[in-house]
């Protein structure tokens, strides 16, 4: 990709915006899909949220102030769209976000688009048991490989708090991955 500010100029230029937006889709569609999928769990929901995310990005480009990178700004929009979707689901079903996440976890096991191994399912079960913010912090760092300062911009949480939460989550996962394995063997 060319220099980011030149690319943003193309995205906001009436003459070049369609072509530039197609390039933006090619560059970020897959990464944003997986970022969203980790938050909303199922393929169908991730597709819906991704579409809403790109609509919001397209409409908001003229207002992008470049206080963060384009990448970080788009991840923040995707994150907010995912939370908006989960909130809507919560209202529709009169359930907490953790109950909705648990329901989606049950769907994930039977999801034809899920190609993960048993260890990945165990990890998802452990992550589903975490508080929402802690789970999101882990996803952003571990799966999306964002820097802590980018996460601060996306989440609106102090970098030190994010680091503490992330490393506590890593310790929690290490301690509980074997327990998850044992509980699955006991249930069978």
Do 75 and 45 share a domain, yes or no? Answer: yes
Do 169 and 126 share a domain, yes or no? Answer: yes
Which of 86, 73, 91 has its CA nearest to residue 36?
86
Q: For residue 181, name the pLDDT band (cuts at 50, 70, 90).
A: low
pLDDT of residue 187: 38
Do 176 and 145 share a domain, yes or no? Answer: yes
Q: Which of 65, 86, 114 is the last residue of a domain?
A: 114
What is the number of structural domains in the chain? Answer: 2
Tell me what percent of the residues of the chain surpass a pLDDT of 90: 49
Do 68 and 26 share a domain, yes or no? Answer: yes
Q: Which of 114, 145, 170 is the last residue of a domain?
A: 114
Q: Which of 114, 149, 171 is the last residue of a domain?
A: 114
Q: For residue 188, name the pLDDT band (cuts at 50, 70, 90).
A: very low
| Model confidence pLDDT, tens digit, residues 155-164 | 999 999 999 9
Do 9 and 67 share a domain, yes or no? Answer: yes
Q: pTM for the whole thing?
A: 0.74
pLDDT of residue 129: 83
The CA distance from 169 to 130, in Å, is 8
Any idea what the CATH number is for the domain that residue 120 is in? 1.10.10.10
Do 110 and 126 share a domain, yes or no? Answer: no
Do 85 and 141 share a domain, yes or no? Answer: no
The CA distance from 14 to 42, in Å, is 36
Domain extent for 78 = 1-114
Do 3 and 81 share a domain, yes or no? Answer: yes
Burial class for 62, CB neighbours closer than 10 Å (0-12, 13-18, 19+): exposed
Question: Of 85-89, 93-97, 131-135, where does mean pLDDT reach its minimum?
Answer: 93-97
- Angle between the 43-60 and 70-93 helix axes, to the nearest 10 degrees? 130
């Amino acid at each position: 990709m060319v220099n980011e500010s030149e690319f943003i100029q193309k995205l906001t230029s009436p003459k070049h915006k369609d072509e530039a937006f197609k390039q933006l889709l090619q560059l970020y569609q897959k990464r944003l899909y997986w970022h969203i999928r980790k938050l909303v769990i199922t393929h169908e929901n991730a597709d819906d949220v991704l579409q809403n995310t790109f609509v919001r990005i397209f409409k908001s480009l003229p207002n992008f102030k470049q206080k963060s990178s384009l990448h970080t700004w788009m991840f923040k929009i995707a994150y907010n769209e995912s939370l908006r979707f989960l909130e809507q689901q919560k209202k529709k079903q009169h359930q907490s976000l953790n109950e909705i996440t648990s329901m989606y976890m049950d769907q994930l096991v039977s999801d034809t688009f899920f190609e993960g191994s048993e260890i990945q399912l165990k990890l998802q079960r452990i992550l589903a048991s975490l508080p929402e913010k802690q789970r999101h912090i882990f996803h952003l760092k571990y799966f999306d490989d964002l820097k802590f300062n980018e996460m601060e911009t996306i989440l609106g949480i102090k970098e030190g708090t994010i680091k503490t939460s992330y490393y506590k989550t890593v310790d929690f996962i290490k301690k509980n991955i074997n327990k998850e394995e044992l509980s699955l063997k006991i249930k069978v």
